[in-house]
């Protein structure tokens, strides 16, 4: 059996932390991070708001990301080994790919590939607080959060909801343990019910 678990949602919501814990806890699992598919900086457009448009789907090479996920689907064992993950090649063993990113479900092909879809949300105030405490290679210019990051998040969340993608919403204000336990238990239950 092959499962693709999507961990999507708001920037700085805890997606990567949750993904890392799931990766350690789920045997025979690999990960694909959407951040690894950003286009080069010189290909990122500047919007009407004057900011580089990092928070839009066109900033990401989604074709390449989808193809990477399809490569995993074709041969999870080969994919895992090429990514330094040692998995057994027992036929019938469950293989799991975790796909993590802030715009997973705004691409129909990517959304359709996910067998389980989770979406982390936090309020704007908490998001701004967490984002301001992180060190980015290119620091946020003043006004970026209010003028671009949060409005883009709301726009993309609405687009996702309007396209009727079914997701399980996760409250990013819960503790890391609560979030992990909720998702891990749901996945374990689904795996047991499908085997």
Q: Which residues are catalytic?
A: 35
C-beta separation of 179 from 121 below 8 A = no
6 burial via Cβ count (<10 Å: 0-12, 13-18, 19+): buried
Tell me if residue 28 falls in helix, strand or coil: coil
């Amino acid at each position: 059996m092959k499962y693709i678990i999507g961990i999507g949602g708001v920037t700085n919501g805890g997606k990567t932390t949750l993904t890392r814990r799931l990766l350690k806890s789920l045997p025979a699992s690999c990960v694909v991070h959407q951040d690894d598919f950003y286009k080069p900086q010189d290909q990122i457009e500047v919007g009407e708001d004057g900011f580089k448009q990092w928070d839009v789907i066109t900033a990401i090479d989604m074709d390449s990301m989808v193809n990477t996920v399809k490569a995993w689907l074709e041969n999870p064992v080969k994919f895992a080994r090429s990514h330094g993950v040692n998995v057994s090649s027992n036929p019938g063993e469950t293989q799991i790919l975790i796909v993590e990113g802030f715009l997973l479900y705004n691409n129909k092909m990517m959304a359709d590939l996910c067998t389980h879809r989770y979406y982390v949300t936090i309020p704007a105030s908490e998001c701004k607080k967490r984002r301001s405490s992180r060190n980015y290679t290119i620091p946020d210019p003043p006004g970026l959060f209010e003028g671009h990051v949060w409005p883009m998040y709301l726009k993309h969340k609405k687009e996702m909801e309007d396209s009727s993608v079914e997701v399980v919403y996760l409250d990013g204000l819960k503790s890391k343990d609560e979030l992990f336990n909720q998702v891990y238990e749901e996945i374990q239950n689904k795996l047991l019910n499908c085997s």
